[in-house]
Chain A
Amino acid sequence: MGTLSVDQSTRVDLRQRTVTDLNQALHQAPAGSQWEVLHPDGQHAIAAGLAAPITVKIEGHVGYFAAGMNEEASVEISGNAGVGVAENMMSGRVHVHGSASQSAGATAHGGLLVIDGDAAARCGISMKGVNIVVGGGVGHMSAFMAQAGALVICGDAGDGLGDSIYEARLYVRGKVGQLGADCVAKEMRPEHLAELSGLLAQAGLDHDPAEFRRYGSARQLYNFHVENAFAY
């Protein structure tokens, strides 16, 4: 396989080229270039490690770690995504039109991840500043140890939501199973309604922010208590 030529608009068929070919070309792509990827067939690590403001449209289902570590790029996936979509994303935008498997947006520091369908378990686990909007529900242990950023869940959330959460903000429109340790319902103040409205708009959703409840940290677990000083 030779090097893919890079035009301003390039279509890559993954039944003709390898994922390595594609990713190498995307890593060298000029800012503003537009890409279309055909027949992803659930292969892993498609469009991972992008670091420039380019646009990538993937037509079909992708495997593990799609758009992982994304920086500045906008990646759109027409189908479902496997484990760890947009994991450790730094900035940019990743939009999954189908559903996502577990650990979507795990450890991500920034940018926006939109999942139109459902996200499975551990969505936003250890998120560190990313904003995630899920059109459907999320599975168990979502936002575990979530540190910063916002997770918007338009459907229901599974058990253990926000377990051991730090300062991430969780907005849930549907039912929550059992809340995780140290995660509690919190007051929805004007700044939260404003943030939620903005995120819903960015995700193309028109739910009324008033239908959501906010959850966050009770700050009993991670703060140091002086009365425990004798334990050290």
Chain B
Amino acid sequence: MCGIAGLHFRDPALAPRLGELLGGMLRQAAGRGNDSAGVGLYADPATVPPGQSTICLLGGDVGDASDVGDASAGSAANGSANSVASLVAAADPTLEQVTAGRFGQSLVLTARAPEAALEAAALAALPGAVVISRGQSLTVLKGTGEPEALAADWRLADRGGWQGVAHTRMATESAVTPGGSHPFSVGSDQCLVHNGSFSNHESIRKTLVKKGIRFDSLNDTEVGARFVADRLADGATMRQALTDLTRVFDGFYTLLVSSATAFAVVRDAIACKPAIVAETPQLVAVASEYRYLTGLPGIETARIFEPDPEVVYVWERSPSTSQLASTSASAR
């Protein structure tokens, strides 16, 4: 059992409230799993400076870095984070404006540099670290522990953005480790959370490995995320990628999948894993249970429905405009 929550704002005025509203949903979702939790946030101003790349990591020998530091400043309070930023900057002198921030078990690095260069420098500087997201707009914060305590580590209430997903985990398919927690983000600005369990993930994993795709964990959900990322990399739309997933994957799932342009939900043919969608002119919200939605603005008059089995629902946002009002809904 796991809990899923997601928010996609149509009204840009809501952006400063993303962390607060998603945090309220996460607190309710803890009832469906409290061994680990995670969030994916799109365009949080504090962790994704405009025009820069952001990567998030777990593990690696990074000491007890705290708060946000950068490679050039030398504040004593940010000493550890500063030292991480310095290490990463030293690994690739072409990187500009490297910063590091510690949010519980997750480390957030930003730089004015291509994301691949930042990722390579981080992995060189921080042996053993696992990259849990990379992109121009996505921040993934996750770890093991009580969701409410994790949200405090992430200072979630202070985070903003135009879209976010959250997950609370009760592990079934792999160990309770930070790396087994959701979201799984394996492609640039892509994020996937899952309630359920895939039953044929090992054979799909082998197929993907043969294509040269590498895995970070033994988790079944990572196979789903790698599959979707592979399809998107081949040029598929989100709708096509998730339709393909329904044809290939067996098992139980409600998936909430997001990218820099899309917010999508799909359930397996049996659809016994719960999902509920609320739409208002201001937002689209997805949750495992209605009670996660009660704190959202306008929920009393929202259109509320349960996604049909094996129907891919996609809400898209045009990448060419920065105005959130361009968000359009489409299902089926």
A residues adjacent to B (C-beta < 8 A) = 41-44, 61, 63-64, 80, 82-83, 98-99, 101-102, 120-121, 139-140
Contact = CB atoms under 8 A, between A and B. Distances in A.
Q: What's the dominant secondary structure at chain A's contact region? A: loop
B304 interface: yes
13 contacts: A41-B294, A42-B290, A42-B292, A63-B291, A98-B304, A99-B304, A99-B305, A99-B306, A101-B306, A120-B306, A121-B272, A139-B309, A140-B271
Interface in B264-307: 271-272, 274, 276, 289-294, 304-306
A-B pairs, 5 with minimum CB distance: A42-B291, A42-B290, A41-B294, A120-B306, A61-B290
Interface of B: 271-272, 274, 276, 289-294, 304-306, 308-309
Of B276, B291, B292, the most chain A CB neighbours within 10 A belong to B291
A44 B293 CA distance: 14
B291 A43 contact: yes
A99 B294 CA distance: 17
Contact of B290 (A63, A121, A140): A63
Nearest to B300: A60
Given A42-B292, A43-B291, 15 more contacts: A41-B291, A42-B294, A44-B291, A64-B289, A80-B290, A80-B304, A83-B274, A98-B304, A99-B305, A101-B274, A102-B271, A121-B272, A139-B271, A139-B308, A140-B271
Nearest to B299: A61
Given A80-B304, A121-B309, A139-B308, A102 B290 contact: no
B274 to A, nearest CB: 7
Contacts of B272: 102, 121
Contact of A82 (B271, B290, B294, B305): B290
B291 A121 contact: no
